[in-house]
């Protein structure tokens, strides 16, 4: 379980207050030390306990830091009242920013493998560790993107398979309709041929009947023309 949040207010219990002061003071000193080392900052820390005991940390020497602090306060007050001092302040800020940009450009060139002649073995080892950490981050990001693309492609493949199955069903249904239409057209053709044959057979007896009737009329006429025979 995580730690419970402590209300930011005075601790009434003296023992708890002393324990908390000791822990927080150690953490504050540690953070000040890390800030000075990692960021090349000039750090000075002064702490008085509730009993009046002094605790301090400095990255170099406390006296120069205090003097620098006083000068900075005076310069800040003068800058607020004097436009010339303010202009000088901004000039210094611009120079500082330019120096920072130049440092970043130099670091970038070193990361690209350029201008390494003035580096020591320790510097090269530190540079190598930075590059390896960067490569790990790049590989992790690339693997993440590839995994996402593969997932998207799998989803598209499933959709295409479903569409293919539906198209096959539609083609099969269309083929069945075509076969049924061909069967129906063949049956209608057969029935038409049968009707024509039955019609022609009915007409033949009628021509035969007419021929017999004409022969009977001719025979009657011949008998009437020769009564003596």
Number of Cβ within a 10 Å radius of residue 18: 14
Whether residue 114 lies inside any domain: the answer is yes
Distances (CA, A) of 91 to 69, 79, 88: 20, 12, 5
Which range marks the domain in which residue 96 is found?
Answer: 82-118
Lookup: tokens for 35: 């800030």
Are 63 and 93 in a shared domain?
Answer: no
Whether residue 161 lies inside any domain: the answer is yes
Whether residue 220 lies inside any domain: the answer is no
Are 77 and 20 in a shared domain?
Answer: yes
165, 182, 199: which is the final residue of a domain? 182
Beta strands in 17-64 (DSSP E): 44-48, 54-58
Contact 36, 43 (CB under 8 A): yes
Round to the nearest angstrom and report the end-to-end CA distance of the chain.
148
Alpha-carbon distance of 217 to 229, in angstroms, equals: 19
**Regions in the chain scoring below 50 on pLDDT:** 1, 200-207, 226-229
Are 110 and 77 in a shared domain?
Answer: no
DSSP state letter for 227: S
Are 95 and 54 in a shared domain?
Answer: no
Whether residue 208 lies inside any domain: the answer is no
Whether residue 229 lies inside any domain: the answer is no
Lookup: tokens for 150: 């593969």
Which CATH number do you get for residue 76?
3.40.1810.10
Q: Output the pLDDT for position 157.
A: 92
Whether residue 7 lies inside any domain: the answer is no
Are 147 and 172 in a shared domain?
Answer: yes
DSSP string over 90-135: HHHHHHHHHHHHHHHHHHHHHHTT-S-TT--HHHHHHHHHHHHHHH
Q: List pLDDT tens digits, range 192-216.
A: 555 555 554 444 444 455 555 556 5
Are 170 and 141 in a shared domain?
Answer: yes
Q: Output the pLDDT for position 203.
A: 45
Indicate the number of domains in the chain.
3
Q: Which long-range contacts (CB under 8 A, 24 or more apart) does 217-221 make?
A: none
53, 81, 109: which is the final residue of a domain? 81
Whether residue 64 lies inside any domain: the answer is yes
Alpha-carbon distance of 63 to 66, in angstroms, equals: 5
Alpha-carbon distance of 163 to 156, in angstroms, equals: 11
- pTM over 0.75? The answer is no
Secondary structure (3-state) at 145: helix
Are 96 and 108 in a shared domain?
Answer: yes
Are 21 and 77 in a shared domain?
Answer: yes
Are 59 and 22 in a shared domain?
Answer: yes
Tokens 């492609």 found at: 153
Whether residue 199 lies inside any domain: the answer is no
Are 127 and 98 in a shared domain?
Answer: no
Contact 45, 39 (CB under 8 A): no
Q: Which candidate, 29, 24, 30, places its Cα nearest to that of 11?
A: 24
Are 101 and 145 in a shared domain?
Answer: no
């Amino acid at each position: 379980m995580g730690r419970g949040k402590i209300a930011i207010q005075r601790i009434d219990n003296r023992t708890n207050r002393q324990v908390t002061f000791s822990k927080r003071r150690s953490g504050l000193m540690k953070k000040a030390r890390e800030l000075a080392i990692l960021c090349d900052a000039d750090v000075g820390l002064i702490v008085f306990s509730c009993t009046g005991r002094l605790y301090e940390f400095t990255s170099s020497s406390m006296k120069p830091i205090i003097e620098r602090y006083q000068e900075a306060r005076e310069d800040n007050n003068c800058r607020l009242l004097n436009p010339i001092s303010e202009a000088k302040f901004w000039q210094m800020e611009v120079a500082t920013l330019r120096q920072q940009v130049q440092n970043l450009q130099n670091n970038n060139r070193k990361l690209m493998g350029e201008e390494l002649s003035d580096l020591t073995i320790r510097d090269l080892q530190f540079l190598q560790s930075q590059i390896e950490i960067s490569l790990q981050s790049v590989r992790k990001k690339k693997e993440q993107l590839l995994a996402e693309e593969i997932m998207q492609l799998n989803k598209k493949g499933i959709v295409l398979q479903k569409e293919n199955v539906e198209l096959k069903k539609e083609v099969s249904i269309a083929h069945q309709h075509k076969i049924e239409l061909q069967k129906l057209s063949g049956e209608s053709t057969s029935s038409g041929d049968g009707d024509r044959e039955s019609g022609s057979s009915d007409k033949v007896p009628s021509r035969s009947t007419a021929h017999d009737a004409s022969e009977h009329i001719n025979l009657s006429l011949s008998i009437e023309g020769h009564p003596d025979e």
